[in-house]
């Protein structure tokens, strides 16, 4: 919510979109029916107060290494 720059009443967001991960552009309309001004704003992240807690990544599950399956195709061709 942001105040209307003309009548200082509340203005509501009608639509918005992210221009980047840190910047959002919004179109607002004043709720005062006698004003109804529309304007566009930019909202951005100014400072990270506290980043998310570091979580230790789980160790990858041990995958057994199997020997490659060998196919003796030469022997198959000799069975004719
Ligand atoms: Zn207004």
Distance 18 CA to ligand 1 centre (A): 25
Domains of the chain, residue spans: 1-45
User: What separation in Å is there between the alpha carbon of 6 and the centre of ligand 1?
Assistant: 5
63 C-alpha to center of ligand 1: Å?
Answer: 64
Q: How far apart are CA 73 and CA 78, in angstroms?
A: 9
Cα of 38 vs centre of ligand 1, distance in Å, is 8
Longest Cα–Cα distance of the chain, Å, equals 95
pTM, two decimals, is 0.62
pLDDT digits (tens, 9 = 90+) for 13-58: 999 999 999 999 999 999 999 999 999 999 999 999 999 998 777 7
Mean pLDDT computed over 55-70 = 71
Cα–Cα dist 41/48, whole Å: 21
């Amino acid at each position: 919510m942001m105040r209307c720059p003309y009548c200082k009443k509340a203005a509501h967001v009608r639509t918005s979109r992210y221009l980047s991960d840190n910047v959002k552009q919004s179109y607002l309309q004043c709720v005062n029916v006698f004003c109804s001004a529309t304007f566009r704003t930019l909202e951005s992240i100014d400072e990270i107060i506290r980043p998310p807690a570091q979580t230790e990544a789980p160790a990858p599950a041990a995958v057994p290494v199997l020997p490659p399956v060998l196919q003796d195709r030469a022997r198959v061709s000799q069975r004719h």
